[in-house]
A and B are shown apart, each in its own frame.
Chain A
Amino acid sequence: MLIYDGAVNPLQPYRLYMKKLQILCNGQPQEVASGTTLARLLEDLTLPADSVVAEINKKIIDRDQYATLKLAQGDQVELIRFVGGG
């Protein structure tokens, strides 16, 4: 299905015509283009893949799957990393 969602963004024109998926990323609703891989999501968030561990629907994803794993409608994505703690 093709959707035109209004204002034209010249930087990402192809996305205007692609199906959108709703996901939850760290608890926040987000919309990504159909076919977006986990690697692409991290890139868009400017997160180096080796600095985080990703969990989708409570399943830990191996880093070597990031480039091929495509997000699906309703996925609950958790991007987690180490912080200071006792």
Chain B
Amino acid sequence: MLTIAGTDFTSRLFVGTGKFSSSAVMERAISASESEMVTVALRRVDLENPDDDIMTHLDREKVRFLPNTSGARNADEAVRLARLARAASGTRWLKLEVTPDPRTLLPDPVDTLQATEQLVKEDFIVLPYMNADPILALRLQDAGAAAVMPLGAPIGTNMGIQTALQVAIIIEQARVPVVVDAGIGAPSHAARAMEMGADAVLVNTAIAVAGDPVRMATAFKQAVQAGRTAFEAGLGTRSSSARASSPQRGQIGEPLNFIEE
């Protein structure tokens, strides 16, 4: 069972709600994923479309809201968005995101740490999106982050766990849950993160832009479950030379003259 800030989660798959072709598809995909926590963003109301409200499409009895601070370019903007998110939703939960560079959308480590310190003081449950830096993970954990969310690859790239070595170190050291976020583009990527011992993964683009987002949500649910089960079962060690699975004694046939035994 995954526990973050005293709250238990049966599902280890968190789902983002961006980029879906329609609210109906989003609703069905979230349902198929069996996710218990979904991220949402805050934006100005489109005054031309005042009826367009995502809150009417999400059942907060079934899924917890994790508002993000996407769009924040520094700690001050992130704190402002966090306060608005709490006022709008009533939840203390927050995915902290500080991305100054629109080209890479990579998180600013300094401002992310500063904002985490401030928001923890204000009694938020802070889950910071971070680069896969093991030392930063320790610093965020010490600052009171409820979990850390290292990236596998830049947001929306579907490139998989490019940061595997650092993520492995983060998982080994962390006292708080590790949620691999960003870059997970295929169920196999999610399974890999879970096999490595990640506590959960957050997936948005790969589900939302799939040919059939509802079926892809099911595939991610299965991959996350498979990866977690594999981690708990204990993977065998790797070897650089072959180790036969079948017995080496009692083989028929003569030695080959071009192979040295």
Chain A residues with a Cβ under 8 A of chain B: 25-28, 45-47, 51-53, 55, 58, 60, 62, 78-86
Contacts and interface: CB of A to CB of B under 8 A. Distances in A.
A52 B53 CA distance: 9
Contacts of A58: 80
B18 A82 contact: no
A82 B17 CA distance: 10
B55 A85 contact: no
A81 B55 contact: yes
Contacts of B51: 46
A83 B55 CA distance: 8
Interface stretch (B36-44, B137-145, B158-166, B246-254): B36-44
B84 A85 contact: no
Nearest to A47: B50
A83 B16 CA distance: 11
A51 B56 CA distance: 9
B45 A26 contact: yes
Contacts of A78: 44
A81 B84 CA distance: 9
A85 B70 CA distance: 8
Contacts of B204: 85-86
Given A53-B87, A81-B53, A86-B205, A47 B17 contact: no
B20 interface: yes
Contacts, number: 92
B210 to A, nearest CB: 14
Chain B binding surface, main DSSP class = mixed
Contacts of B155: 86
Contacts of A46: 50-51
Interface residues of B, number: 35
Nearest to B19: A84
17 contacts: A28-B47, A51-B53, A60-B87, A79-B44, A79-B47, A81-B54, A82-B40, A82-B42, A82-B89, A84-B20, A84-B40, A85-B16, A86-B16, A86-B17, A86-B18, A86-B156, A86-B205
Contacts of A82: 40-42, 53-55, 65, 67, 88-89
B121 to A, nearest CB: 17
Contact of B40 (A25, A28, A85): A85
A85 B68 contact: yes
B88 A53 contact: yes
B83 A81 contact: no
Given A85-B70, A86-B18, A86-B68, A80 B45 contact: yes
Contacts of B19: 84, 86
B216 to A, nearest CB: 15
Given A52-B88, A81-B42, A81-B54, 15 more contacts: A46-B50, A46-B51, A47-B45, A51-B53, A53-B88, A58-B80, A78-B44, A80-B43, A80-B45, A82-B53, A82-B54, A83-B41, A83-B54, A85-B40, A86-B70
